[in-house]
Amino acid sequence: MKKLLCLIGLFFTLNSVLGQISISGKIVSNDEPLPGAHIWMKSNYNINAVTNSNGYFKIAGLNIGDTLVCSFIGYKERILIVAEQDDNVLINMEPFSQQLEIVEVKASVLGAENFAFEKLKPLDIYTNPNSKADALVAINTQMSSTTKDENAAVAFRGASPQQTGYFLNGVPVKNPVKYAQLTNTGTLSIFNTDFLKSATVFPGNPPVEYGQATSGTVVLELADRFPDYWQHTASISMANLGYSARGKLGEKSNLGVFGNYQFDEILKGVNTRNFEDINSFNAYEGGALFTTHQSWGSLKIYQYGLVDSYNFNFEHPSYQDGFLQNAERSITTAQWIQDFGAWQASVVAGNSFSQNHYHFGNLEYSLQNNDPYASANFTYSKEGDVFKTGYAYWNQNSRFQGRVPAFAYALAPEHPSTAIDSKEQLQSHEYYLYGRKKWGEHAFGLGMRTAYIPNSRQQLWSYQFNYLWKINKSLQLKLGHGQYYQTRIDTDPQVIEQAQSSIDLDFKQKGWALHQSFFRNDGDSSIAGSESRLSFFCKQKFQLDQSASFYHQNSNWEWFTRTFLKYIPYPGWNLNASFQAFRGNTFQLVNGAQFISSLDVYAPHAQSSPNFFKPYTNFSIGASKLFQLSSKLNGLVFINMANVFDFKNENSISYNYDYSNYNSNYLTRRSLYAGIIFNIVND
């Protein structure tokens, strides 16, 4: 009898084991993959899986009739009953926010189809191996970026970073970076990716509706609404503590708040050599976003504040000490949008305020900028045809106050200095028109923008033409040409004008894509060049992007190359590597110096011909792991190592007291950065 019972038990055990099956497939929302979604057996949480960056998963050890639970923060749970072995399961998850379908959300019509542009969503930024979850750093990894530094200030196609235009919810923002960005760690720009809806990048020939840019333009739009529950995010890293909360207020409104503290102690302690010349850095920032969607339209209001400090060792032949920089910033934006059939009306208002303080030796001054802005826009959009017109008023105000060295070679506190107190104002009234007509696979666009400057009674003009031809499903051609102006005021009013021409080709096939651009910019100098990017995708586990750009400027050839590799060995894991190289910056050596007895310093009086530093090279690696502790708590742990091989990338030189010897100053040496992010749902 015992033998019979053993045989019966063995039979049922073998039947249970041999009867186990696995299922695999993809979790999506609106046909878009959901990386990091969690799926587990309801009766045994240890049997689980996490989707990879393309939404794919595989879960084994199942029996027919088991119940699986699918969850992702911000989405309704899905229940799946195992019926059979299946390797092609498609699970479509519905956002909680879709419960608000009765609320009509108005979003601005960009009409950018004819322009060469790239649109980044928050997920694109978070999964970019080099972005540090920062929108501007992610943009600086694009092939059109020619920033010859490691900060977040974006330069496109050989132009100066000052020629790039930034718009947040339609409001122009100047110099949107922190001083702490100079460490190349943590969050570098003032834009919070958690609250971002999209970042649209125009590397050249930007739409005329966005004036004040003679190179590329970055258009950032914050979220229109949040899920109808409260989500909390806490982040802890070697240089940052952060918290954000976002959710629903009433039936038709949403609120999000965030705060971050950036500090230096851990980062400097772990990466001693890399930060040996940095005395201290810290930043406090916070913001709030409110949106409401009513019958009278959609309203979005955002407020941001920052207090920033950075102190580094600065060696000058006449004086060596800490160079202190402090800044306070405040940005306010308000955007109202309403649809009237095929027409849309929008009103944008805001203000960007900044106050920067600088102190070193006999240099001590502050620079204050206050730039209120308002615009009204009307858009008609139907069946691919677009017409846009609008008016904008921008009042740029600047005050420069303090003391500056009387002689550039004498910077010690006892050396003479000159007091300065100047105020400048630059107002502009601007109007624009843009139209696009579509004929089959062809679309033609034509636009103009004009500005009247009351201070100087000056009339400025911009115009543009663009053309799109969708040759087939895989290939499209874009042509663009325009003349653009930019008004700026830092310490003095400036008007910059530049012409741009570009040809862009996009070719996409299953598993790979190719982009090729040719461009020419004519302003203070002429720049002509090309950009190429080749991307490969293999079995949802491997992605390789290779880009190269070349341009000719001031009788010199500049070049950039970037390689990004991403590999997903297991669900939830992400391994990445990057290699970047570009031609080094120019510098001139001092060949002689004269002693000035009255000041007890040496003054340089001769310089060599321009030279180039060695090419910049940087190989970096990183790894991240998505995890889910429960249906209401998940997170991400990450670690990155920059400049793995510790390349010495020269950026500037410092001289001794009489200019007879010099030392090189380097960009980021080998450094380690790690952190963890938690997401919590509060129903």
CA pair distance 615, 559, nearest whole angstrom: 10
Could you please report the per-residue DSSP string of 512-566?
EEEEEEEEEEESSSEEEEEEEEEEEEETTTEEEEEEEEEEEETTEEEEEEEEEEE
Count of CB atoms within 10 A of residue 212's CB?
A: 27
DSSP state for residue 295 in the 8-state scheme: T
* Locus of tokens 């003095």: 492
| Minimum mean pLDDT range among 19-28, 180-189, 195-204, 321-330 | 180-189
CA pair distance 294, 174, nearest whole angstrom: 32
- Is the pLDDT at 255 greater than 90, yes or no? yes
CA pair distance 647, 641, nearest whole angstrom: 13
Average pLDDT estimate for 133-162: 83
Count of CB atoms within 10 A of residue 446's CB?
A: 16
Average pLDDT estimate for 247-269: 90
pLDDT grade for 184, boundaries at 50, 70 and 90:
low
- Is the pLDDT at 102 greater than 70, yes or no? no
Q: Compute the C-alpha angle 332/334/338, nearest 5°.
A: 170
Largest CA distance in the chain: 114
Helix, strand, or coil (residue 61) = strand
CA pair distance 172, 582, nearest whole angstrom: 30
Retrieve residue 156's tokens.
């496109």
pLDDT, tens digit (0-9, with 9 covering 90-100), for 646-664: 999 998 899 999 999 999 9
Could you please report the per-residue DSSP string of 249-292?
ETTTEEEEEEEEEE--HHHHHHSTTTTTTEEEEEEEEEEEEEEE
Mean pLDDT of the chain: 85
The answer to whether the CB of 108 falls within 8 A of the CB of 337 is: yes
Give 476's contacts (C-beta < 8 A, 6+ positions apart): 468, 469, 470, 505, 506
The answer to whether the CB of 340 falls within 8 A of the CB of 369 is: no
The answer to whether the CB of 105 falls within 8 A of the CB of 224 is: yes
CA pair distance 594, 85, nearest whole angstrom: 85
User: Which is more confident, 255 or 70?
Assistant: 255
pLDDT at 118 (0 to 100) = 84
User: Which is more confident, 379 or 128?
Assistant: 379
pLDDT at 15 (0 to 100) = 40
The fraction of the chain above a pLDDT of 90, given in percent, is 46
Nearest to 310 by CA among 322, 302, 299, 320: 322
Write b or e for each residue in 624-643: b if 16 or more Cβ atoms lie within 10 A of its Cβ, otherwise e.
bbbebeebeebbbebbbebb
Helix, strand, or coil (residue 138) = helix
pLDDT, tens digit (0-9, with 9 covering 90-100), for 459-501: 999 999 999 999 999 999 999 999 999 888 865 677 888 999 9
DSSP state for residue 113 in the 8-state scheme: T
In terms of C-beta density within 10 A (0-12 exposed, 13-18 middle, 19 or more buried), how is residue 31 classed? exposed
- Is the pLDDT at 203 greater than 60, yes or no? yes
Retrieve residue 612's tokens.
């180039």
pLDDT, tens digit (0-9, with 9 covering 90-100), for 46-95: 677 777 767 788 888 787 777 787 877 656 678 787 777 777 788 888 76
DSSP state for residue 105 in the 8-state scheme: P
Tell me the C-alpha to C-alpha distance, in Å, between residue 483 and each of 221, 467, 521, 530: 26, 16, 10, 20
The answer to whether the CB of 190 falls within 8 A of the CB of 354 is: no
Average pLDDT estimate for 270-282: 87
Nearest to 328 by CA among 178, 196, 475: 178
Give 534's contacts (C-beta < 8 A, 6+ positions apart): 512, 513, 514, 545, 546, 547
- Is the pLDDT at 192 greater than 50, yes or no? yes
pLDDT grade for 14, boundaries at 50, 70 and 90:
very low
Regarding beta strands 217-222 and 38-41, do their DSSP bridges make them parallel or antiparallel, or are they unpaired? unpaired
Query: SS3 sequence, 598-632?
Result: CCCEEEEEEECCCEECCCEEEEEEEEEEEEEEECC
pTM equals 0.83
Highest mean pLDDT among 81-85, 432-436, 541-545: 432-436
Average pLDDT estimate for 433-443: 93
The answer to whether the CB of 117 falls within 8 A of the CB of 51 is: no
- Supply the CATH classification number for the domain 118-682: 2.40.170.20
Sign of CA dihedral 480, 516, 114, 472: positive
CA Rg value for the chain: 28
The answer to whether the CB of 280 falls within 8 A of the CB of 309 is: yes
CA pair distance 249, 17, nearest whole angstrom: 50
pLDDT at 580 (0 to 100) = 92
pLDDT at 683 (0 to 100) = 65
CA pair distance 579, 375, nearest whole angstrom: 42
Retrieve residue 374's tokens.
């308002």
Domain positions in the chain are: 2-94, 118-682
Give phi and psi for 75, each to the nearest 5: -130, 155
Sign of CA dihedral 576, 577, 583, 585: positive
CA pair distance 215, 161, nearest whole angstrom: 9
Highest mean pLDDT among 70-74, 279-283, 373-377, 551-555: 373-377
User: Which is more confident, 105 or 82?
Assistant: 82
- Is the pLDDT at 504 greater than 70, yes or no? yes
- Is the pLDDT at 2 greater than 70, yes or no? no
Regarding beta strands 78-81 and 616-630, do their DSSP bridges make them parallel or antiparallel, or are they unpaired? unpaired
Its CATH architecture, for the domain 2-94, is Sandwich (2.60)
